């Protein structure tokens, strides 16, 4: 149980008190000991924390997919949740280890663009995790910051230690390239940011952006080897095996195949360009 003193310290800096929930998102998979090691460190620091696994199946080193899944899931957790995210191809390099507060939630992980989508703009508060008092050991492994830096820092945060005590203030985070779509009068250029297990290709183009830019004009959407010119309400709106565009449950434009795999059929993957061209007349 969090002490009243710790709750008071959290409220003094304008962030919500930690709620005792800590999530994990990684590209580690589940066949090795990596995830268990991180959980063991968290529970050694804060045994009453509830750990929720978002996923450990992010494709290896795919920061964009990690950023998308984090953005898609974090919004459904209550204020005060601590999210630990580790998709970290630059582990051991000069990239920073950070903790961030935004819109009532906390995010801990590498400063490599992983938090670009969930933050959208500047965080409310951010620090570099350079205070060794909150590391697992004084000399962290150069290959496993998830265990030695992120997990213990996040556990202390979940236990009520203020974000500001974890390290030095940070004014700017590393953005993801191609995180947001590009707009002009002729159309929208976006990218595939996530391919789900069904082969549906989720783009970074929102319903609002699409409808606002289209202004009821006809359009063509170029995605890999397929061209689409209509938006459907459901996957079942077309015959099995046919391609379609729709807005998914998070209002993002998605390329799919009814009872099929769009990624395989049309050569799409994370980072594939999606071009929507608006037609006059």
The verdict on 128 and 231 lying in the same domain is no
pLDDT of 27 reads: 98
Give the pLDDT confidence of 174-197 residue by residue, as tens digits: 988 766 799 988 999 999 989 999
> In the block, which residue shows the tokens 């978002």?
54
The verdict on 151 and 241 lying in the same domain is no
**Domain extent for 209:** 182-279
Percent of the chain at pLDDT > 90 equals 82
| 181/28: higher pLDDT | 28
The answer to whether 227 and 280 have CB atoms below 8 angstroms apart is: no
The verdict on 42 and 87 lying in the same domain is yes
Number of domains making up the chain: 2
The verdict on 124 and 190 lying in the same domain is no
The verdict on 14 and 66 lying in the same domain is yes
pLDDT of 14 reads: 67
CATH code of residue 256: 2.40.30.90
The verdict on 194 and 149 lying in the same domain is no
Residue 177 lies in a domain: no
Give the pLDDT confidence of 130-152 residue by residue, as tens digits: 999 999 999 999 999 999 999 99
> In the block, which residue shows the tokens 């460190």?
41
Among candidates 152, 249, 252, which has minimal Cα distance to 202? 252
CATH code of residue 149: 3.40.50.10790
Distances (CA, A) of 127 to 4, 51, 91, 120, 175: 24, 23, 18, 17, 16
Q: Report d(CA 40, CA 50) in Å as an integer.
A: 12
DSSP assignment of 204-253 equals: EEEHHHHHHHHTT-EEEEEETTEEE--B-SSGGGS-TT-EEEEE-TTSEE
On the question of pLDDT at 15 being above 80, the answer is no
The verdict on 191 and 263 lying in the same domain is yes
């Amino acid at each position: 149980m969090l002490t009243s003193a710790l709750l008071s310290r959290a409220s003094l800096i304008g962030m919500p008190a930690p709620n005792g929930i800590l999530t994990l998102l990684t590209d580690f998979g589940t066949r090795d000991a990596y995830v268990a090691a991180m959980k063991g460190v968290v529970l050694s620091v804060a045994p009453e924390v509830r750990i929720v696994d978002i996923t450990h199946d992010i494709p290896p080193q795919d920061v964009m997919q990690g950023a998308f899944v984090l953005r898609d899931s974090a919004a459904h957790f209550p204020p005060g949740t601590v999210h630990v995210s580790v998709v970290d191809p630059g582990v051991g390099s000069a990239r920073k280890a950070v903790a961030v507060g935004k819109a009532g939630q906390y995010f801990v992980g590498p400063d490599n663009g992983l938090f670009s989508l969930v933050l959208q703009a500047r965080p409310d508060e951010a620090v570099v995790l350079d205070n060794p008092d909150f590391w697992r050991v004084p000399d962290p492994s150069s290959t496993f910051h998830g265990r030695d830096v992120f997990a213990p820092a996040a556990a202390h945060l979940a236990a009520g230690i203020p974000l500001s005590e974890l390290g030095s203030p940070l004014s700017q985070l590393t953005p993801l390239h191609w995180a947001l779509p590009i707009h002009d009068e002729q159309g929208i250029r976006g990218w595939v940011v996530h391919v789900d297990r069904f082969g549906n290709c989720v783009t970074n183009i929102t319903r609002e952006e699409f409808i606002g830019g289209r202004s009821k004009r006809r359009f063509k959407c170029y995605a890999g080897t397929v061209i689409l010119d209509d938006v459907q309400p459901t996957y079942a709106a077309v015959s099995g095996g046919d391609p379609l565009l729709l807005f998914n449950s998070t209002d993002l434009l998605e390329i799919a195949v009814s009872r099929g795999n769009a990624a395989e059929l049309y050569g799409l993957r994370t980072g594939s360009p999606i071009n929507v061209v608006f037609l006059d007349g």
